[in-house]
Amino acid sequence: VEWFEAERAVLVAAVAHAHARGWWELCWEITDAMSIALEHQWRWDISSQVHELALDAADRLGDGGARAALLRNLGEALRDGGSDVGRAAECFSEAIALFQSSGDAYGESDALGNLGILQRQQGALRVAARTLTAAERLFRALPLERGLAWTLREKAVISRHHAHYSEALAQLDEAEALFAGNEESRGVGWILRTRADTEKESTVGGCPLPRRWYAGPWPGRHVTSRDAQDPRWAAARAHYEHAAQLLHAVRDHRGHTWVTLGLADMALYEGDHAAAELISRGLQETDACGDHRGRSRALTVQALLHAEANRLSEAITLAEQALAGPRDHVGAAQASFRLARLYGAAGWHNDVLHTLQQSRTHHHAAGMPFPDLADSELTRTLTLPAPRARRFRRRQ
């Protein structure tokens, strides 16, 4: 990691120089070789820049295999940077077709897995599950343990969103064993973070709001139990903290950011003063690595904190910004339910109803649990004053 950070500018210049001199093979091979390091450090703009040059070089060579590999890499940069997810999908689809036509099962499985990640990030969970299952079959047949581990992690995220928590944990168990067996600490860090997400969400049944904000029914959430007293809650915290150590050690800034967001969400549910500090740090980190999806998630937490500090108007503005961010059913499902609750605190009944209907639509589109109540009845549970920050406590 240190070597690549020191040499990155030289390598980028080498790609441009090779392209300018017409050294087409060298141009695309350097680009492909450093694509994983650029992805690891979330240098999406640089990755897109060099891959455009490399694609031109591959086309001048007439090398379909090179083009397929570069399209797969460029799709990752466009997807994770959020600059053009439509083109990212096109890159993955063309790469899959090129790999298939050349009989390259390794490349095909990788491109399929990346397309599945994109579909999952957009909240098209059922489609993503089919794509990832196709990738999993190829990874197991090859076999290719690293690709299989990442694919199982993605499938576990989908299982979690569908409230299939036991299935998600089993998928994570297998993925973690594969990463650990290959001494890939970054992968283990991501698994621990995803495990913590699963344990936290299983405790609250995936409900987007703490109890002081929403006391109504939610599938899988027990009315009488207290979240912080559930052993899964303590396990989630421990796994977040371990993940943070591993991801910090390998300088995976984005992975570390999502750990911060998970801890901030836990602090919000607990009524812990640490929530404000954590979410402020999370927003700084999402801005630093250009993570638009993470920023939208952070804004919904900050919005609730502002409302509890008697800043309801600002809170609504933040929640509206979060909902206007990257369009994916999972993120929008949570953001719109939180926004509906904020509208309810302001007494804006028509806005509550409209946004609640949006949330229901997004939950159903993603296959996520949602209360089986009429809109009018659910609206009443959301139309209450905002709780105040005096309820916050410091976690011992």
Number of domains in the chain: 1
Token digits for 369?
């649990």
Confirm if 260 and 281 have CB atoms less than 8 A apart: yes
Instruction: Write the CATH number for 228.
Output: 1.25.40.10
Residue 171: inside a domain: no
pLDDT of residue 225: 60
Residue 315: inside a domain: yes
Nearest to 159 by CA among 173, 144, 145: 173
Residue 115: inside a domain: no
- Start-to-end CA distance of the chain, whole Å, equals 37
> How many whole angstroms from its chain centre is CA 205?
19
Q: pLDDT for 219-276, tens place per residue?
A: 988 765 667 788 999 999 999 999 999 999 988 888 999 999 999 999 999 999 899 9
Q: pLDDT for 185-203, tens place per residue?
A: 999 999 999 999 999 999 9
Distance, CA of 307 to CA of 318 (rounded, Å) = 10
Residue 365: inside a domain: yes
pLDDT at 395 over 80: no
CA angle (238, 186, 37) in 5-degree steps: 150
Residue 48: inside a domain: no
User: What is the rounded average pLDDT of the residues 131-144?
Assistant: 97
Residue 332: inside a domain: yes
Confirm if 262 and 200 have CB atoms less than 8 A apart: yes
Token digits for 224?
């009488």
Residue 347's SS3 state is coil
- Report the 10 Å Cβ neighbour count for 290: 17
Distance, CA of 115 to CA of 96 (rounded, Å) = 9
The residues, ordered by sequence, that sit 6+ positions from 146 with a Cβ below 8 Å of its Cβ are 178, 179, 182, 184, 187
Q: Helices in 104-164 by DSSP H: which ranges?
A: 105-121, 125-141, 145-161
Residue at 236: amino acid letter? A
Tokens 């302001």 map to which residue? 346
Q: How far is residue 171 from each of residues 179, 197, 235, 289, measured CA to CA in Å?
A: 13, 14, 17, 28
Give the chain's mean pLDDT: 94
Residue 192: inside a domain: yes
Q: Is the backbone peptide bond immediately before 387 cis, with ω within 30 degrees of 0? A: no
Domain span at residue 391 reads: 184-396
Structure pTM? 0.94
Confirm if 188 and 179 have CB atoms less than 8 A apart: yes
Q: What percent of the chain has pLDDT over 70?
A: 97
Q: pLDDT for 63-88, tens place per residue?
A: 999 999 999 999 999 998 887 899 99
The residues, ordered by sequence, that sit 6+ positions from 22 with a Cβ below 8 Å of its Cβ are none
Residue 43: inside a domain: no
Q: pLDDT for 346-394, tens place per residue?
A: 999 999 999 999 999 999 999 999 999 999 999 999 999 999 875 555 5
pLDDT of residue 396: 43
Nearest to 395 by CA among 284, 229, 184, 232: 229
Residue at 341: amino acid letter? R
Q: pLDDT for 169-180, tens place per residue?
A: 999 999 999 999
CA-derived radius of gyration, the chain: 22
Nearest to 322 by CA among 355, 289, 288: 355
Distance, CA of 117 to CA of 125 (rounded, Å) = 10
Q: How far is residue 15 from each of residues 2, 5, 26, 73, measured CA to CA in Å?
A: 20, 16, 8, 15
